[in-house]
Every structure is written in C-alpha cells, then in structure tokens.
Amino acid sequence: MNGHTPALQTRERIGPIILLATGMLGLGVLVYLFDRLPGSTYFLPAPWQHFADKPITFGNISGWLPEFAHVYAFSLFTAAVLGTTRRVALTSCSLWWLIDSLFEIGQYPNLSPHLVVATPAWFDGIPFLENTGAFFAHGTFDPADLIAITLGALAAWVTLSGLHNRKEGYNHVRIQQS
C-alpha cells in the first residue's frame, strides 16, 4: 500500500491534465477574442471581439494556434476521463487528430458546398449545430492548420506520456521504499 486512496490517486493524476488542457483551450479562445474579426466566430458575440482593430496580439502563431490548442486540449480532456495509460493517450490523441482533420478537410473548396447542402435541415435553430453550414461555407481550408492539428496531437501525446512515465517512476520509488 502506498498510503493513497484510489480517489486521491485519480485526482493527483488528472489534476495537471485538466489544468494544462483548460489553459491551452483558454489560449485558443484568446486568439479569437483578440486577433479575429468581429462576427467571424459563431461562439463569440461580435462586440466581444472589439480588439480586432488593434495590432495582432499573437503574431504569426495566431493563424494556427486555435487548431493546435483544440486538438491538444481535447486529447487531454479525453485522457482525463478515460485514464492515463499509454493506450488511452494514443487513442484520444488519434481520435481528436482525426476529428479536427476531417473538419478542416471539410472546408476544402471542392468539398464544402456538398457538405453545406448535406447539412440536415433540422440543425436550423439548434445552438452551435445551426452553424454547421456556415462553418463549411465560410471556413478556409489551410494545409498549415492540418500541420497545427498534427503537432497538437503529438504534443498532447508527449504530455500524456510524460505524465504517465512520471507516475510510473513515482510508484516505483514508493514500492522500493515500502
């Protein structure tokens, strides 16, 4: 016995993960707040984006930081729910890499009109879902975003692997001590 209850172990394990994920997600939201044109983002009211006429806050990274942040944050959130094993890390990072990549590819000009037309009519009036058509119709496909998504997934995997190794080492030391 290492003296920790399972609940405490879980809190110790997922606390840093949730903190990192929330921080990264917050960073992504800041890009939309400070560096995107008013009205360009569905989930933010246009008046909130009143810094858009100021110089770009995040510089060159503002173009791809949200994509990186999203896949990173949700890979970590998923791992926080399912556990921090290597298999979970790989699954959650791969899953969010796939989801975000598909949404990005859906903005490809030859593909997006078909997706807009295929968007179910019953999405209308349902918050967020009602923006599906606009997401594909007005979104811009950028290969750099796909790279950012891949880097985000890799970074999440490295983070989760690091936390996993740290925990393994911690448990190993405690077993030796006992």
Which residue ranges make up the site for other proteins (CB under 8 A)?
A: 32, 39-43, 66, 70, 74, 77-78, 81-83, 96, 99-100, 103, 107, 113-114, 116-117, 119, 121, 128-139
At 51, the amino acid letter reads F
Q: Which of 60, 81, 78, 76 has the alpha carbon at shortest distance from 154?
A: 76
Q: Of 7 and 177, which CB lies nearer to other proteins in the complex structure?
A: 7
Q: Of 14 and 163, which CB lies nearer to other proteins in the complex structure?
A: 14
- Residue given tokens 């030796």 in the structure block: 176
- Residue given tokens 């399912």 in the structure block: 82
Q: Of 16 and 83, which CB lies nearer to other proteins in the complex structure?
A: 83
Please, what is the minimum distance in Å from the beta carbon of residue 75 to other proteins? Answer: 9
Please, what is the minimum distance in Å from the beta carbon of residue 98 to other proteins? Answer: 12
Q: Of 70 and 164, which CB lies nearer to other proteins in the complex structure?
A: 70
Helix H or strand E segment including 150: helix 143-177
Q: Which of 92, 39, 36, 89 has the alpha carbon at shortest distance from 66?
A: 36
